[in-house]
Amino acid sequence: HLPGSSEEVAPPLQQSFMIPKKEINMVSDMAKWKRSQAYADYMGFILTLNEGVRGKKLTCEYKVSEPIEKLVALLNTLDRWIDETPPVDQPSRFGNKAFRTWYAKLDQEAEKLVATVIPKHLADAAPEVAVYLKESVGNSTRIDYGTGHEAAFAAFLCCLCKIGVLRVDDQMAIVFKVFNRYLEVMRKLQKTYRMEPAGSQGVWGLDDFQFLPFIWGSSQLIDHPNLEPRHFVDEKVVNENHKDFMFLECILFITEMKTGPFAEHSNQLWNISAVPSWSKVNQGLIRMYKAECLEKFPVIQHFKFGSLLPIQPVTS
């Protein structure tokens, strides 16, 4: 179940919402992170949504609650700010400095944006939840974006579940409506400001920027009557089905952004296309996500801990 949201009434809030803004800044703390309540809740959240979208198309019907609509409106605001903050002329090709102007606006407005999503009686949670929103759009100093930032957005949604804003029956909308809109905004950021991939492993990484849509996207395709993993390298198949499946939407974006043979610029994905079934792809990607993202110090070193996602050892 979604952490803290299986009951009819929203769970009681913990005493303090003042985030200590701790960072994992020693490699020895990686073991502490893996044993933490934060890690357990975060992975539980990812896996719950993975099951929730299994075999479902992006275009299928699902419940859209008021908090979901408010989250989409929040993301639409971020999108509008991109239009209002065009790139500046500069000598370097990558890392347009206009991103810092865009980010400064988010930094200033994040708590107000979060306050539009959560009810008044939970207003004390806004400062802590807003931290994850600010972390989810990239780094304003380096002007880069990677899977650690993506994880911050998933943590942002997880926190909204823990305080009872998002419910169990929002599962499909969380992925298909909110996270998918987040992806659209992040792709626009990446293209507009020519953001660098954070900690990119080149062709040996799954993708320059994202990971979660490949996990949830492969779950969508489990037991599909026609589409097999080998089909996602077929341009015609991708063009005809990308609006239904998150995985294929990711492939389309990669092929738009990169040139040359797919096997050369996206070697890991090319290898995945040889896996016989989507369920095996899905299981393999979850293992890879834990090993290559959540258990890698450069990715997780900036993860914030507070009362909602505590660093304390798991208790249940």
Mean pLDDT of the chain: 89
**Between 92 and 243, the higher pLDDT residue:** 243
Q: Which residues of 111-143 are buried (b: 16+ CB within 10 A; e: fewer)?
A: bebbbebbeeebeebbbbbbbbbbbbbbbbeeb
Q: At which residue do the structure tokens 């990119």 appear?
A: 200
Report residue 252 as tokens. Answer: 């389309």
Statement: 21-305 belongs to CATH 3.55.40.20: no
Q: Using an 8 Å Cβ cutoff, are 20 and 129 in contact? A: no
Mean pLDDT along residues 143-167: 96
Element (H or E) spanning 60, and its range? Answer: none
State the Cα–Cα distance between residues 309 and 39, nearest whole angstrom: 8
Report residue 47 as tokens. Answer: 């896996």
Of 30, 23, 43, 32, nearest to 313 by C-alpha is: 32
State the Cα–Cα distance between residues 176 and 246, nearest whole angstrom: 8
74-85 tens-digit pLDDT: 999 999 999 999
Q: Where are the domains of the chain?
A: 21-305
Look at residue 10 and tell me whether its pLDDT is greater than 80: no
**Between 301 and 231, the higher pLDDT residue:** 231
CA distances from 215 to 49, 86, 287, 294 (A): 10, 33, 10, 14
Q: Tell me what pLDDT residue 298 has.
A: 81
Residue 301: pLDDT band with limits 50, 70, 90:
confident
Q: At which residue do the structure tokens 């299928």 appear?
A: 60
Instruction: Give the side-chain half-sphere CA count within 13 A for 31.
Output: 1
Q: Tell me what pLDDT residue 25 has.
A: 39
Q: 126-135 vs 147-162: helix axis angle to the nearest 10?
A: 160
**Between 256 and 16, the higher pLDDT residue:** 256
CA distances from 301 to 7, 98, 104, 139, 213 (A): 33, 26, 22, 13, 22
13-52 tens-digit pLDDT: 333 334 344 443 343 578 889 999 999 999 999 999 999 9
Sequence-distant (6+) residues with CB within 8 A of 160 are: 67, 71, 117, 118, 129, 166
Mean pLDDT along residues 253-259: 90
* 3-state SS assignment for residue 28: helix
pTM, to two decimals: 0.90
Report residue 73 as tokens. Answer: 């409106």
The 8-class DSSP code of residue 261 comes to -
State the Cα–Cα distance between residues 282 and 50, nearest whole angstrom: 9
Strands, E assignment, 127-178: 144-145
The one-letter amino acid at 148: G
Look at residue 134 and tell me whether its pLDDT is greater than 70: yes
Proportion of the chain above pLDDT 90, given as a percent: 76
92-130 tens-digit pLDDT: 888 999 999 999 999 999 999 999 999 999 999 999 999
State the Cα–Cα distance between residues 305 and 121, nearest whole angstrom: 22
Sequence-distant (6+) residues with CB within 8 A of 150 are: 136, 186, 209, 210, 211, 212
